[in-house]
Amino acid sequence: MNTQPKRSVCMLLVSLLSTSLLAGCGNDQRTDDGHANDQSLPMQEERARQVADAWRASAAAAAWAQGYYPMADAVQKPESGWRSKADERAYETKNFVLGGDLPSTAPALGKVDWGNGKDLTRPLIEAKKAYQSFALNRSAGPHLTVTGARLGTTTIVTSRGNATVPAWLFTLESYDTPLKRVAVTPSKLPKQPIGQARQGATYGLRSIARLAGTAADGRSITVKATHGSCDDGPIAKALETDESVVLYASIKGAESGTCRADMIEQNVRVELSQPLGDRLLLDALTGRPVPFGDLKGTAPSWT
């Protein structure tokens, strides 16, 4: 009895079944590679809502509301502006020379004052450490010369609004106004009430790298988000509640095929229905507050 035809038919059926199963897997609308589609967006929003609900009335939210978390540059340029492109370049490349003495003593504590009677006392950093936080380079080419420093004050945007804080005022050669560096240290981050989204169930979510700025009226924010070289860039949406704004980011227009493993950072503006105010700004993927600051050191963040 010849069984070859039957065996061939069985093998063909197995092959077709395998192909069908693989095709079904490939068409799964749930994505975990950071690419957005119409099916994944509702699931991303649901994750954002979970984060908002976890933070609402939590011990972490209470600690955040009582702490000092700067949301703007800790280093502030001279009010008079830069005299030349060379000086601006020197600042951007952190190229400084110390041409004078810095104070060797300072108070141990300083006050963060929001002007509402709810001030906070925090440790201060010494002048040398403050200088080293922005003077990271000493190379040939354009540079700025620091000739001294004194302790004064400045105003900075925080998670609780504008605050007056102690700052080191560094005098610069040939400048009438100082370079300011906030001297008070941020509060410790509270333990978040919800963990990062588990791997395999992120639905295309990507992390918000950091906050880049807030509009003067608080009705929009600009964040740094990342994407690759084979897509149309990042997108970010906001889930707003009375207590928080939860951002959820993803990628649009991803191309198929081989792609370089590039990580491109891009500004993304997010419009809000109400001013941000003192609402928590949270990241849906990580479940944590969105940090502010240049990770290379010019604007140290509370992270």
Per-residue pLDDT tens for 54-107? 999 999 999 999 999 998 889 999 999 999 999 999 999 999 999 999 999 999
Per-residue pLDDT tens for 148-187? 999 999 999 898 989 999 999 999 999 999 999 999 999 9
Per-residue pLDDT tens for 231-284? 678 899 999 999 999 999 988 766 555 666 667 788 999 999 999 988 999 999
Banded pLDDT at 17 (limits 50, 70, 90): very low
Ranges assigned E (strand) in the chain: 75-76, 96-98, 109-112, 120-123, 144-158, 161-172, 179-182, 208-214, 220-227, 234-240, 244-251, 264-271, 280-283
Which tokens go with 244? 């928080």
Other beta carbons within 10 angstroms of residue 301's beta carbon come to 18
Lowest mean pLDDT among 27-31, 49-53, 177-181, 211-215: 27-31
3-class DSSP state for residue 149? Answer: strand
d(CA 50, CA 287): 9
d(CA 247, CA 290): 9
Closest CA to 289 of 186, 163, 199, 156: 186
Banded pLDDT at 7 (limits 50, 70, 90): very low
Maximum Cα–Cα distance for the chain, whole Å?
103
Report the Cα 164 to chain-centroid distance in Å: 23
| Beta-bridge partner residues of 123 | 109
d(CA 203, CA 154): 43
